[in-house]
């Protein structure tokens, strides 16, 4: 770890033209099941950023999942989101030379606070604080969704096939399920339902595609950063809202639909106030079902990383064991939607 800290320190010294630098603190951050994140505090002397600074270095893990973007792609997405006014860490420097640290990485500013979902869900927020937080989440998504194709810097992102992001997702997840090569009849049934009930698509916008409790930082009741951009894609705006409201991301607070924090009405109100757009609540519910299917696919892929020997990890193995819960939630949620028609 000390050698890795010095490696990152030397890289930053070169980027800033600092005369010297001293490592104050360096540690591997919690979370990041797909990528490795390191906190690095430096005291820089001279150059373009003199003084004490807290950075995060985000580096490729030993193995990945199919949906994940590369670090250079993620870096450009972070630049686009930051420029659009999203409360994201400022992307600073990209290193595409794997000889520097052994893997590709980039450096960004470090935000204050915590992203721990269980801490946030159990926090003693007042009702007013909860409403304000959820409205702020809607505002952040509205800002992100102002980024629309074509964008030269984001040419690596393919546009949805079939002129419908929902049907494009269904086709993609059918392919994933075939590649996994295991029988999952509930997931096959859910994909059939999603294909049969796809809503009219909204505008094609830049979606975070992993915007949920656990992927944003809070300092008290203030949002300080939206994290983990590796799944971003061109899609329907409702995909991001459906993912945030998915049952899997409530962490036991099932009565609070928005990430275990608050109410969906406040999320939609915050989105509308920032964008002037009224999203269809039924389309958001549809994308909540899609979110369960997608998360099940990712969990199966995570388990394969462990079982194949690519990256032995108890966390990856346990993620694969969560698929049964997602299938149970799918049965319940689709049943509720069918009863409400």
Beta strands in the chain (DSSP E): 20-28, 35-45, 51-60, 91-95, 105-109, 205-207, 216-219, 222-226, 233-235
What was the pLDDT predicted at 261? 98
Residue 306 has pLDDT above 90, yes or no: no
* Dihedral of alpha carbons 78, 84, 88, 90, sign: positive
d(CA 64, CA 298): 11
Banded model confidence at residue 1, pLDDT cuts 50, 70, 90: confident
**Delimiting residues of CATH 3.30.200.20 domain(s) in the chain:** 2-109
What was the pLDDT predicted at 307? 64
Residue 305 has pLDDT above 80, yes or no: no
What was the pLDDT predicted at 132? 98
- Please write the tens of the pLDDT for every residue from 318-333: 676 789 999 999 999 9
What was the pLDDT predicted at 304? 73
Residue 214 has pLDDT above 90, yes or no: yes
Banded model confidence at residue 314, pLDDT cuts 50, 70, 90: low
- Please write the tens of the pLDDT for every residue from 113-168: 999 999 999 999 999 999 999 999 999 999 999 999 999 999 999 999 878 999 99
Contacts of range 208-212, beta carbons closer than 8 Å, 24 or more positions apart: 208/81, 208/141, 208/144, 208/232, 208/240, 209/233, 209/235, 209/239, 209/240, 209/243, 210/243, 211/137, 211/140, 211/141, 211/240, 211/243, 211/244, 212/117, 212/243, 212/244, 212/246, 212/249, 212/259
- Please write the tens of the pLDDT for every residue from 56-94: 999 987 655 567 899 999 999 999 999 999 999 999 999
What was the pLDDT predicted at 31? 65
3-state secondary structure of 337: helix
Beta strands in 216-313 (DSSP E): 216-219, 222-226, 233-235
Mean pLDDT of all residues in 4-15: 97
What was the pLDDT predicted at 308? 60
Task: Check: CB of residue 195 under 8 Å from CB of residue 224.
Answer: no
Banded model confidence at residue 341, pLDDT cuts 50, 70, 90: low
What was the pLDDT predicted at 303? 72
What was the pLDDT predicted at 309? 65
- Please write the tens of the pLDDT for every residue from 28-64: 997 655 688 999 999 999 999 999 999 999 998 765 5
**Percent of the residues in the chain that have a pLDDT greater than 90, as a whole number:** 84
**Start-to-end CA span in the chain (Å):** 56
d(CA 239, CA 201): 10
The answer to whether domain 2-109 has CATH 3.30.200.20 is yes
In this structure, CATH architecture of domain 117-340: Alpha-Beta Complex (3.90)
**Delimiting residues of CATH 3.90.1200.10 domain(s) in the chain:** 117-340
């Amino acid at each position: 770890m000390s050698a890795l800290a010095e490696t990152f320190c030397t890289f930053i010294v070169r980027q800033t033209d600092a005369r010297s630098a001293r490592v104050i603190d360096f540690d591997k951050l919690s979370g990041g099941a797909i990528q490795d994140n390191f906190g690095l505090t430096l005291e820089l002397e001279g150059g373009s950023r003199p003084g004490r600074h807290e950075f995060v270095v985000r580096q490729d893990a030993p193995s990945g999942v199919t949906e994940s973007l590369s670090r250079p792609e993620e870096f450009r997405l972070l630049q686009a989101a930051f420029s659009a006014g999203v409360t994201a860490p400022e992307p600073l420097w990209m290193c595409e030379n794997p000889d520097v640290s052994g893997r590709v990485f980039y450096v960004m500013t470090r935000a204050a606070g915590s992203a721990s979902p269980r801490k946030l869900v159990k926090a003693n927020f007042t009702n007013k604080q909860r409403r304000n937080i959820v409205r702020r989440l809607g505002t952040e998504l509205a800002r992100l969704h102002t980024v629309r194709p074509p964008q030269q810097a984001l040419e690596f992102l393919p546009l949805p096939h079939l002129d419908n992001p929902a049907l494009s997702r269904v086709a993609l997840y059918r392919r994933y399920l075939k590649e996994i090569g295991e029988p999952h009849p509930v997931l096959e049934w859910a994909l059939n339902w999603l294909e049969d009930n796809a809503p009219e698509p909204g505008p094609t916008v830049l979606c975070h595609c992993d915007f949920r409790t656990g992927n944003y930082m809070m300092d008290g009741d203030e949002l300080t950063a939206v994290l983990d951009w590796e799944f971003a894609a061109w899609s329907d705006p409702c995909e991001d809202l459906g993912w945030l409201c998915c049952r899997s991301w409530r962490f036991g607070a099932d009565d609070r639909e928005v990430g275990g924090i608050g109410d969906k009405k406040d999320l939609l109100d915050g989105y509308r106030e920032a964008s002037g757009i009224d999203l269809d609540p039924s389309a958001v519910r549809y994308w909540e079902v899609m979110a369960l299917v997608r998360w099940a696919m990712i969990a199966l892929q995570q388990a394969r990383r462990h079982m194949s020997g690519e990256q032995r990890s108890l966390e990856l193995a346990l993620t694969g064991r969560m698929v049964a819960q997602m299938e149970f939630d799918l049965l319940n949620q689709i049943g509720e939607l069918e009863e409400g028609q």
